[in-house]
Amino acid sequence: MVVCTLGDLLLDVIVRLDSGLAPGDDTSARTTLAPGGQAANVAAWASALGAQGRVIAVQAEDDAGSMLRRELSDRGVDLRGPTGNRTGVVVSLVQPEGGRTMASDRGSAPELRAEDLEAEWLECDALHLSGYALIQPPTAEAAERAATLARDRGARVSVDLASWTQITRAGDAMRDALARIRPDVVFGNELEWEAIGDVGVGVRVVKRGAHGIRVNGDEHAAIPVAAVDSTGAGDALAAGFIVGGPQLALETAARCVAQVGAMP
């Protein structure tokens, strides 16, 4: 099975706090640099689950970009896409109980254009689109062209809504993109579904954290696990769902939160 993703390849700076932030003062923490980006995370987890993972993303010719290419290669992920100027960075502040808050700088990632795509990249069984790619041009046009090329080859298309704040800022842009793409599966947490409203999709997956997932109204309980870092858990869940359905999705999400970092 070939799982292709389109979106961001970023550097994650994971800051695990030993206690809550103290405004105006210091808080001790442990900091880790790791590869990330929603699309890259899904491709890496798909590869770890036995599929062939491929990610289409802008890759920068800087030191961070070199590190990310090496890390993806080590995980068996095929990286395709044009060259950009600057690798984006996501700072993930992880609370002692495992919850996280992110500050995102996408760098050159939003510069992916429809004309950058090559049809052979979309020869796959499943295409997964990051919601961040649907917010504004030119990546929105790239995502729509990718969906068309993948569907022409018999692939199923899925979308992760990505961020309720971005959906709110984008207005109708993501709703209109979803209407044109007509994804077979859409993933989102409860706030993201509330922000996007009523959109027609084949399978609606509601990510509910420690409460599991709801698939077209059917509840599936989370697998109990000692949470260390929830960064990338939704991406791991999406990869598991694409490769093997709800149960594998929950198992993969549990593996992700039990480790530090968004990739296996």
Which residues have C-beta within 8 Å of that of residue 147, sequence separation ≥ 6?
127, 129, 157, 181, 183
Q: Dump pLDDT digits (tens) for 113-162.
A: 999 999 999 999 999 999 999 988 999 999 999 999 999 999 999 999 98
| 87-94 vs 10-17, strand pairing mode | parallel
> Residue 41 pLDDT more than 90?
yes
> Residue 102 pLDDT more than 90?
no
Report, as an integer, the average pLDDT of 195-201.
86
φ, ψ for residue 27 (rounded to 5)?
Answer: -135, 130
Burial of 24 (0-12, 13-18, 19+ CB in 10 A): exposed
Residue of 75, 2, 6 whose CA lies nearest to 35: 75
Cα separation, 187 vs 100, in Å, equals 19
pLDDT of residue 257: 93
Q: Dump pLDDT digits (tens) for 203-257.
A: 999 999 999 999 999 999 999 999 888 888 999 999 999 999 999 999 999 999 9
- Strands laid side by side in the 185-189 sheet: 78-80, 52-56, 2-6, 126-130, 156-160, 185-189, 203-207, 213-215, 218-220
> Residue 186 pLDDT more than 90?
yes
The model's pTM is: 0.91
pLDDT of residue 106: 87
Which of 3.20.20.140, 3.40.1190.20, 3.40.50.300, 3.40.50.150 would CATH assign to domain 2-8+37-88+106-257? 3.40.1190.20
Give me the chain's average pLDDT, please.
92
Cα separation, 247 vs 191, in Å, equals 23
pLDDT of residue 217: 92
Cβ atoms of 251 and 5 within 8 Å: the answer is no
Q: Dump pLDDT digits (tens) for 54-100.
A: 999 999 989 999 999 999 999 999 999 999 999 999 898 888 876 77
Extents of the domains making up the chain: 2-8+37-88+106-257
Q: Dump pLDDT digits (tens) for 44-56.
A: 999 999 999 999 9
pLDDT of residue 243: 98
